[in-house]
Chains A and B, each alone.
Chain A
Amino acid sequence: MAVFNRVESPRLVEEAIYSEVVQAGDGWMRELKPGQVLRIVDLEGNQAADTLFFDAENPEDHYSAVATITGQSNIYLSTGSVLRAESGKALLTIVADTCGRHDTVGGSCSAQSNTVRYAHEKLSMHNCRDTFMLQLAGQDGVYTKRDLAPNINFFMNVPVTPEGGLKFDDGVSAPGCYVEMQSHGRTMVLISNCPQLNNPCNAYNPTPIQVLIWDN
């Protein structure tokens, strides 16, 4: 199962066809072609890369956290995890992971959930769902709020206990940890590099990530 399955990538940074640093609070959206590999690097450690996928052949078929975890009967993501769409279709497979495990139960932060979790006064603070929506707004109306399903939080640690409790712990990640996934078909990737300033997991210091793409 997908727990602490540490696998280093054979891919060389200098052979990547694309590389970009995404600052905390920024969004990133791009289509992967079949076979392409996406690496996300936690440059400074304990950052959360909130990520959604869509089947680019059928944009209404979004990533499904629940189809993914039920498909492997395990709630954590690591090397070998198959990331599934709502239809059950396999979108990508995680092929390398030096972090250990990733969360897909905790969802993304939003202005409204911040008012519930912290205080009504947090409504104005920047958040991942605003970043997602700003990115979707640039896609010629293909995507709307209806397409915003629960996401993956790469590098986040959200343990569930056998008693059914859920908590947010300090990250299991460290500077330079990365996760790599290979796309089975044409897959749209949507990332919000989390700007969360209310949760002690990131020591109230959101930091940049790097995204790299290889052709295979």
Chain B
Amino acid sequence: MANIWSKDIGPGGKWSGTIGKGKLIRLTALEAGANVSFQLYHAKDLTERYNMPDTLKAQYTAHLTRGNVLMSDNGRAMVSIVEDSLGWHDPLSGYTSRAKTDAKYGVTNYQELRNEWLRSGQENFAVELVRNGLSMRDMMPVVNFFSKIVVENNGDMKFVQGHCPAGATVTLRTELDLLVVLSNTPNPLDPSESYPSVPVRIEVLPAPPLHEDDYCLNYRSENRRAFENTWEYHTLLNA
């Protein structure tokens, strides 16, 4: 299927944009070891956003993969993960800060390094949120696509190295009109001592119509009820 639109986001890059419902968003790691911090808002009501705890507890999971649905704080399905070559994406560890980036990789600035200076997730999100009429008060937990964090029995969070090979992909189907905000910055728990971000391609494609036997819809009865809440919203909007 030919894509509608495509953009490569370089290391340290950021992007935000509105993507309508009924489309596919495909993310591809162009090299090994990618991490994209990803945030979702409902384009027609920016106070509605991806809710990490509601998503995880409804699906009894602490990682995200095919079948899972990212749910909003209003109990609606926002996107469904319809394809995934990796089997594990991290919803727990958040985004990098300026302070952590400087402490871990050394202080960098634009004056000396021009566009090679090391960006932080915190600043990338701040810029894109303000651009869209929001602010850091709207910042909530993100999904870190391509990263795997294992939680040991004692609660310790461990970054799994070598999880993401070059060419890894994950595909999301939009169930609502969405504002997508993303930052291609390192996972905060990545122990690598050099700044590890790699380029990531984002493509938007048309999605086939949702069928009654859809994998994500039927993954759990909780997912179906989240879809029903989304359908109820669209019924009232379009009535």
Total chain B interface residues with beta-carbon distance under 8 A? 49
| B21 within 8 A of partner (CB) | no
* CB atoms of B157 and A75 under 8 A apart: yes
Interface string of B92-133 (1 = CB under 8 A from A): 111001011000000000000000000000100000000000
| A150 within 8 A of partner (CB) | yes
Contact of B137 among A113, A147, A160 (CB under 8 A): A147
Tell me the bound Cα distance from A146 to B46 in angstroms: 9
Contact of A75 among B63, B122, B137, B155 (CB under 8 A): B155
* CB atoms of A116 and B62 under 8 A apart: no
B99 CB, nearest partner CB in chain A, Å: 6
Tell me the bound Cα distance from A54 to B229 in angstroms: 31
DSSP majority for the A interface? loop
Tell me the bound Cα distance from A82 to B134 in angstroms: 27
Query: With A2-B155, A64-B94 given, is the CB distance from A115 to B229 under 8 Å?
Result: yes
- With contacts defined as CB atoms under 8 Å apart, how many contacts are there between chain A and chain B in the complex? 148
Within 8 A of B (CB), among A125-147: 129, 144-147
| B174 within 8 A of partner (CB) | no
Which residues of B have CB within 8 Å of A60?
135-137
Within 8 A of B (CB), among A41-67: 60-62, 64-67
Interface string of A158-195 (1 = CB under 8 A from B): 10111011111000000000000000000000000000
Binds A, one of B52-60, B78-86, B201-209: B52-60
B113 CB, nearest partner CB in chain A, Å: 23
Tell me the bound Cα distance from A145 to B94 in angstroms: 21
| B153 within 8 A of partner (CB) | yes
Which residues of A have CB within 8 Å of B54?
107, 110, 112-113, 116
Which residues of A have CB within 8 Å of B226?
116
Query: Size band of the A side of the interface?
Result: 35 or more
| B228 within 8 A of partner (CB) | yes
Tell me the bound Cα distance from A115 to B226 in angstroms: 8
| B188 within 8 A of partner (CB) | yes
Candidate in A62, A69, A120, A166 with the most chain B CB atoms within 10 angstroms: A166
| A149 within 8 A of partner (CB) | yes
* CB atoms of A86 and B157 under 8 A apart: no
Which residues of B have CB within 8 Å of A145?
47
Which residues of B have CB within 8 Å of A115?
75, 225, 229
Further 14 A-B residue pairs, CB within 8 A, beyond A70-B92, A86-B136, A113-B51: A1-B155, A1-B156, A69-B157, A75-B92, A88-B99, A105-B53, A107-B57, A112-B54, A113-B58, A113-B71, A116-B54, A150-B52, A160-B151, A168-B57
Q: Which residues of B come within 8 Å of A, CB atoms?
A: 47, 51-54, 56-58, 60-63, 71, 73-76, 88, 92-94, 97, 99-100, 122, 134-142, 150-157, 188-189, 222, 225-226, 228-229
